[in-house]
Amino acid sequence: MTLEILTSDALAPLRHGFFTRHGGASSGIFSGLNCGIGSSDQADVVAINRDRVAHAMGVERDALITMGQVHSTRVATVSTPAPERVEADGIVTATPGLAVAVLTADCMPVLFADRQAGVVGVAHAGWRGALDGILERTVDAMRALGARAGQIAAVIGPSISQRAYEVGPEFMERFIDDDPDNTRFFAGGASDRVHFDLTGYGLQKLRCHGVGHAEWTRHCTYAEGERFYSYRRSVHRGEADYGRHISVIRL
């Protein structure tokens, strides 16, 4: 099966893509392009999938740099190939030939580019990372390499949509305690449950930090099971594990 790669005009002509699960070698509950080293999928099969991604991006395997993601606000700056995962939730680079990548299965994969300055980055942003500031810190790390916030385009890839993201009142209280205006990112659900607009919140954080252009591809990982992996969907189905799809940008 051919790889399916979603792109954005806002990041063109830089080579980039939000890869779906189509075109991979994994089977069973991981069926497709599972690139998650941390999953219980067969390691050699995950390696095959990652090789396919590297080839599609026109780089060698060690120039496809991924992260050991822990919902932190740590951003790494890289300038050379990295055979091991970088311990961070954001990566930035100004080195031609490097491809930086993020793995997700409901959280926001965000690709950044200042094409004029020649600086790119990625971020992994779930609710905790977004609340704590991983998106702003990624922008700041790009600025340290010469980027200008107003020249940066940031594109949020396939993520869980508000309709599928049901949370409890204590979750909402965290955001309201941080900023009362955050009530606009919640909509009523059954009983005391509410639905959180993760991507809307991410876009607001990016725009308030001065990013010149911010958009979401408007693909929901939970709803589009044939195309995307979803942690929450796997829990609802009682599955033992779930795949991770990859989003990449390179200079």
Which CATH number characterizes residue 131's domain? 3.60.140.10
- Residue 250, amino acid: R
User: How many Å apart are CA 110 and CA 57, to the nearest integer?
Assistant: 17
Mean per-residue pLDDT, 97-119? 98
Does pLDDT of 67 surpass 90?
yes
User: How many Å apart are CA 130 and CA 82, to the nearest integer?
Assistant: 26
User: How many Å apart are CA 140 and CA 134, to the nearest integer?
Assistant: 10
Which pLDDT does position 83 carry in this prediction?
Answer: 79
The number of C-alpha atoms within 13 Å of 228 and in the hemisphere containing its C-beta is 29
- Reduce the DSSP state of residue 1 to 3 states and report it: coil
The string of pLDDT tens digits covering residues 22-49 is: 999 999 999 999 999 989 999 999 999 9
Mean per-residue pLDDT, 113-137? 98
Q: How many domains does the chain have?
A: 1
| Residue 26, domain extent | 5-250
Which pLDDT does position 84 carry in this prediction?
Answer: 81
User: How many Å apart are CA 13 and CA 128, to the nearest integer?
Assistant: 32
